[in-house]
Amino acid sequence: MLVHPQLNPIALDLGILQVHWYGLTYLAAFGLFHFLATRRIRQAPFVAGGWQPRDVEDLLFFGVVGVILGGRLGYVLFYKPMHYLQNPLEVLAVWKGGMAFHGGLLGVLVAMALFAHLRGRRFFEVTDLIAPCVPTGLAMGRVGNFINGELWGRAADASLPWAMVFPQSGSDLPRHPSQVYQFLLEGLSLFVILWCYGRSRGAHHRADGAVVWGRVSGLFMIGYGAFRFIAEYFREPDSFLGLLTFNLSMGQWLCVPMIAAGALIWASAGRRAA
């Protein structure tokens, strides 16, 4: 069995200032988004839409605000509503941890809707642009989870070559390194799928040649929801929630409407020709 190396979560300690690895993974995520999005706008039909590098910088600003606010509020509302209702000031204590992807997604969608409104662009044009650029950021987040030794997996057979003991879990049980699974699934695999699909003509054009928006966004929601649903079978459920109805975790239940919404968006995209 492997044993988690228990890396120091602090990458750089300057006394009055501590730089955490998790914070650095967030910076890497935002840097990768900027790198990929500036290349995405060189693809048709974004060139025809007049997208410029300055637009990407503004998108990144809106997205960062949406991720932080949405991720925090999502965690508060989806996972510990009663705790924060009794301790409302702790909602602001982000340094104690507590971010939810599904909340971050909702926050980003609101931010993108505001950006689209202010710039006079279609909402799904904006989300189709950013969708293939998001999974690498998710992958960086899972790297941070692994370094911190958090969000470990469920118990695994000791004969599994990559089974790992996470001392942070308080036991010597071999576990699935679910952070690595999510890195590979909702990070790298989803990126490859969306980037390749986003470059294809069928992603943005109907058979009659009309430009359509929403297919890449819909595929992102389907792909992330499906990959996260699978990964949750190997990830230890939150101790304060456990498994819910039908032995599904909260993360899995939040993926169900996401997959359904993604399928609806993708299927109806052809009827929303620009």
Residue type at position 203: A
Distance, in Å, from the CA atom of 117 to the CA atom of 170, rounded to the nearest integer, reads: 49
Q: 142 labelled as ligand-binding?
A: yes
Whether 90 contacts 73, CB under 8 Å: no
- The C-alpha angle 202, 49, 118, rounded to 5 degrees, equals 120
Q: What is the DSSP string of 248-261?
A: --HHHHHHHHHHHH
Coil vs helix vs strand at 66: helix
Distance, in Å, from the CA atom of 41 to the CA atom of 48, rounded to the nearest integer, reads: 9
Q: Which helix (H) or strand (E) holds 3?
A: strand 2-3
Q: What is the DSSP string of 85-119?
A: HH-GGGGG-GGG----HHHHHHHHHHHHHHHHHHH
Using CA atoms, how far residue 94 sits from 16, 103, 150, 182, in Å, is: 19, 14, 16, 23
Q: Which residues are part of a known binding site?
A: 142
